Amino acid sequence: MSKTSSRDELWAMVRAERGALAEELAGLSSAQWGERSLCGEWTVEEVVAHLTAGASTGRLRWMVSVVRNRFDFGRHNDRQLAGHLGSTPEETLERFRAVVDSTVAPSGHTAAWLGEVVVHGQDIRRPLGLTREPSIEAVSEVARFFASRDFTVAGRSAIEGLRLEASDGPFAVGDGPVVGGTTIALIMAMAGRSVYCDDLAGPGVDVLRGRI
């Protein structure tokens, strides 16, 4: 397995993934902006606003918002999102473009914020039939982070007692029935997107699918 990247390297990956996503979004039609994403009930435009919110909110503002919303993280996320949603998709995109280079984050877990843009990027791309995937370096970092703890997603719990093996990169972790596939499919499954289990193979897939 490759070495863990430095924080500066991780932020460079975040910038690259945000920039690539912004370029793809520029070509969307009005109907596509309104498509439902893989992230719950949110539309494509709402997911983009959520990404902007995350890149605009430091630790103190994040905690104040959580407390004001009585630790209801769903309501917290919805209100943060609403504050960064433009009056048009074009304005929402411009707000996202403005934070492409931001290193503001609610915590110092930089790999988690790389995971935010990687996962939400695929939440947008898959329903729209967009085929770009993040770099293998970026997805390998996110896979290691998700597998190591339950933080922004319950990755460690989802894969307990399973062996995950990437078919396109160095990521491999765990012992037990094997779940194999591309690193991005493994990431998205750990993030709770069950549709990506269709892209995986091995005796552990049904166990993983049942957990998410």
Chain segment 178-201, per-residue pLDDT in tens: 999 999 999 999 999 999 999 999
Virtual torsion, Cα 98, 185, 126, 35, nearest 10 deg: -70
How many C-beta neighbours within 10 Å does residue 68 have?
A: 12
pLDDT score of 81: 76
The number of residues in the chain equals 212
Give the up-direction half-sphere exposure of residue 156: CA atoms within 13 A in the CB hemisphere.
7
pLDDT score of 58: 58
The Cα 95–Cα 12 span in angstroms is 19
The Cα 48–Cα 42 span in angstroms is 10
Q: Which position has the higher pLDDT, 152 or 36?
A: 36
Comparing 60-64, 71-75, 89-93, 157-161, the range with the smallest average pLDDT is 60-64
Place 150 in a pLDDT band, splitting at 50, 70 and 90.
Answer: very high
pLDDT score of 170: 97
Q: What average pLDDT does this structure show over 137-164?
A: 96
pLDDT score of 137: 96
pLDDT score of 152: 83
The Cα 66–Cα 61 span in angstroms is 9
pLDDT score of 3: 60
Cite the DSSP H helix spans in the chain.
7-25, 30-33, 44-54, 59-68, 73-82, 89-97, 110-128, 136-148, 155-158, 183-190, 205-211
Task: Give me 49's structure tokens.
Answer: 């606003």
Q: What average pLDDT does this structure show over 23-31?
A: 96
Place 1 in a pLDDT band, splitting at 50, 70 and 90.
Answer: very low
pLDDT score of 82: 74
Phi-psi region for residue 129, left (φ > 0), alpha (ψ -120 to 50) or beta?
left
Q: What are 65-112's pLDDT values in tens digits? A: 555 655 556 676 677 777 779 999 999 999 999 999 999 887 778 999
